[in-house]
Structure formats: structure tokens, C-alpha cells
Amino acid sequence: MMSVRLIESLATTETLAEIFSDRSVLQAMLDFETALARAQAKLKIIPHSVARAVAKAARVESYDTSSLARETLRAGTPGIPLVKALRQRVHQESVAAADFVHWGATSQDVADTALVLLLKKAAPILGADLDRIEKALQSLSNTHKTTVMLGRTLLQAAPPVTFGLKTAGWLGSVRRGRAQLERAFSDALVLQLGGASGTLAALGNRGIEVGELVAKELKLAYPDAPWHAHRDRLAAVLCACGVLTGSLGKMARDIALLMQSEVAEVAEPGGSGRGGSSTMPQKRNPIASTIALAAANRVPAFVAAFLSQMVQEHERGVGGWQAEWPTVAAVIQSTGVTIASMAETVEGLTVDDKRMADNLNATRGSIFAEKAAMILSRKIGREAAHKILEQATDSKLLRDRRLTKVLSEMPGVLEHFDHKALSRLEDPQDYLGMAAEFTNRISRSAGARPRHRK
């Protein structure tokens, strides 16, 4: 496996870096040319000797990727120097065969199909790490279905929730995002073969036959028509990546906030070289969440860039599709490193339920002001009840006492509370509403979701 470039070390994984490496990209283009020659040979459009010569020459180690990169900058497409180099290699085997290399295809056919083949390789890698996330989140949700913690709205303490519901919320969002991504991948993994103007006129009336065989060789779907200037399928993949990365970023933000020293309710897994500080030995930083949040910051701009590149001219764009390769590579790799980082996090997440209870208790019952106001509202009206609870939750009054005690000392309040209601006012288990049912509903609906894999 290749090493990740230092400048991209926080933006990809080794596996995805390998998929988008020069060797991998070049091999994908060569695979297209091999499949094209084999399909045409089967249909007797070109001699079988050509297909054999192309297959023999289509070995990535036979080419200088640096030279091809320099020539691509001059040609405006990687297809032109690639086909030139391939013809030269085939020419060494057979002068006659060299004339049939890339027969009837165009340079964008090579580039687009190669990109699709890279996406085809990336999809199961993303899926494997998403499986890890789903399994870990489901386990956390089940384990902590009744673990009570502070709800937090606008970063302030709010009525209690359960950690099981919080993790179920993450799980539901991830699964919805995954379903969108799988649908987008399914639609996008299609062959590009259109020839000069997208009609395959150079192949006469055999164009569709050739296309279907090439698609079969490469294990891709065959579209209704070539899509040189229609980039909607790729755009859907990138948009789905943007949504999924945003969902994972939300999870990462929550975990990072819960890891703050003064909160300390969860912790990412540690280990050698993980989460430390170059100057502060005591630190345990939310490193995986940081990586995910960095990606969540990058990806929207890349997605927006791709969407702007969709406006392409007539049958072949000028400048639009030429900008796509680095954009697509950046989005897929950023999505992948986010998924991998959060998979590691949730699989090893430490949950401190005692600290959750302590933080809830530290509010001195103020988070149950809504509950008290609802009880009083039935007796004295909503506005009057709200006013009483505003007074009761004044920080000066709650400094040394709990909300229940303050309310019991306020004139006229006790007559509207029965003893049982007052004694249970600060019981978090008595004010969780439908938390358990919502948690169950997410688990049930997620478990029944359809798969959209090729």
C-alpha cells in the first residue's frame, strides 16, 4: 500500500489514497482500453490480435506517469497522451494492431470511465466503514437507552434526554445519508462511450453492441446514451457525500463538546500517539472528531465547485469536466476519512454515565422549570406560571437550594402542587417523554431500510 502524501495526511486514508494514486488512475484508463478492444474483437470489428496486443501493453508499470502528467497539461485531457503511449507500446508488438487502438472512442470516454471505475472501487470501502459506524451506534443506543443526560439547546442546559436517543439520532442520520449515497453510486456507475460527438458514428450501427460489451467487461451498467456533458449522476454522488459528511460532522461536533474538560461525559479512544498534545501531557484531544470536522468544513466548497462545473457547453464542455477529477477525488477521500475516523471513535467511545448524572444534578433542578410550569399552567394559567418559574430559577435563589425547595417556599405555590407531584418534580426518569419510543422507532425504521447496492 502506498504512503499518503504528507500534505493530504488529514484528508484521506491510505486505501483511498491508493485508489486515487497515479498508478490506479492510469490502470483504470488502461482497463477501459483493454475492455474496448476485447469487445470490438468479439464483434469482429477489429482483429483478435489487436485485443491481445492491447491487453499485453495495458500494464501500468510500462508507463511513466510523470511524463503522462506533463503531456496531459499540454493536451487538456489525460486520454490523448495515454492513447498515444498505448499505441506506441502496441506498435512494438504489431504495427498493424496499433492502428486499431482506441477505435471509435474519444479521449473523454477514457477519462470518464476511468473516474467511474475509481468510484466503483471506493464505494465498498466507504460501505465497510459505514457498517462499523452503524453497528457501533446501534450498540451504544441499546446500551444507553435509559442513560439520562442533560439535553442542551443553544449550548445551554435543557430538560433531560437519554444518551440512547442521542446516539439513535446520529444513527438515523447516518443511515439516511448512506441510503442516498448508495442510490447515487448505483446510478453513477455507468460506462461512458460516445465517440466524438456522443453518437458513436465511427462504429456505424454497432455502437450500442460495443458499448454493452464494454460495460459487461468492466462490470458497469450501460446508460441509455453517452453523458459527456451531463454530469448529474456524478453531482448526485458528491451531493450525497456532502450530506453524509455533514451528518458525521454533527456527530463529531457533539462528541467534541461532550469531551470538554468541564463536561467530560464521553471520551474518544486513546492509545499511543492518539489525542495527545506536544506541550500538555494531560491532554486527551478529540482527534477523530477534529478530522471529521475538518472534512465537514472542506466538502461543501468542493460540492459547490462541482455543481458550478455542471454547466457545460453542447456535446462536450470546455473547462467544466476538465476541472472534475481533483474535485471528485477530494470529496470521496474527505468523505472516506470522515467515515473511517468516526467509525474508530464510536467503536471505542467511553461513556461516563455518572458524570452525566452529576452534570444534570448540578443544575439544581432548574432544567425542570418547564415541567413545573406545565403543572402550574393548568391551575393558574400559562403566563402566571411562567412568571413564577422565571422568579424561581433566578440564579441567586438557586445558588444554595434546589428548584423544589425554592418553589415550596414561594407564597401560594404549594397549594397548586400535590405532594407527589412536588416530590417527583426533579426526577429525570419522570420527564423523558417519548425518548424510549423515539429510540425504538429509529432502530426499527433503520433496520428495515432497503439497500441500493450494485
* Residue at 430: amino acid letter: D
129-143, 204-218, 279-293: which has the minimum mean pLDDT?
A: 279-293
User: What number is the average pLDDT over the span 116-124?
Assistant: 98
The answer to whether residue 454 scores a pLDDT higher than 50 is: no
Q: How many residues does the chain have?
A: 454
Alpha-carbon distance of 96 to 309, in angstroms, equals 40
DSSP code of residue 427: -
**Residue 447 pLDDT:** 60
**Residue 277 pLDDT:** 46
Among the listed residues 243, 250, 255, the one whose alpha carbon sits nearest the alpha carbon of residue 335: 243
Question: Whole-prediction pTM value?
Answer: 0.93
Q: In CATH terms, is domain 109-190+227-360+434-454 a member of 1.20.200.10?
A: yes
**Could you tell me which residue, 261 or 452, shows the higher pLDDT?**
261
**Residue 336 pLDDT:** 98
Helix (H) or strand (E) holding 153: strand 148-153
> Which CATH superfamily groups domain 14-105+198-219?
Fumarase/aspartase (N-terminal domain) (1.10.275.10)
3-7, 37-41, 46-50, 365-369: which has the minimum mean pLDDT?
A: 3-7
pLDDT-derived band at 398, boundaries 50, 70, 90 = confident
- Taking only the tens place, the pLDDT of each residue in 18-40 is 999 999 999 999 999 999 999 99
Alpha-carbon distance of 80 to 187, in angstroms, equals 27
Among the listed residues 94, 87, 91, 109, the one whose alpha carbon sits nearest the alpha carbon of residue 36: 109
**DSSP secondary structure of 157-170:** EEEEEEHHHHHHHH
Catalytic residues: 277, 316
CATH number, domain 366-425: 1.10.40.30
**Residue 286 pLDDT:** 92
- Taking only the tens place, the pLDDT of each residue in 411-449 is 878 888 877 888 899 999 999 999 999 999 998 886 655
Residues contacting residue 44 through CB under 8 Å, at least 6 positions apart: none
The answer to whether residue 280 scores a pLDDT higher than 50 is: no
Domain ranges within the chain, ordered by starting residue: 14-105+198-219, 109-190+227-360+434-454, 366-425
3-state helix, strand, coil in the chain (%, to 5): 65, 5, 30
Within this chain, domains 14-105+198-219 and 366-425 share the same CATH topology: no
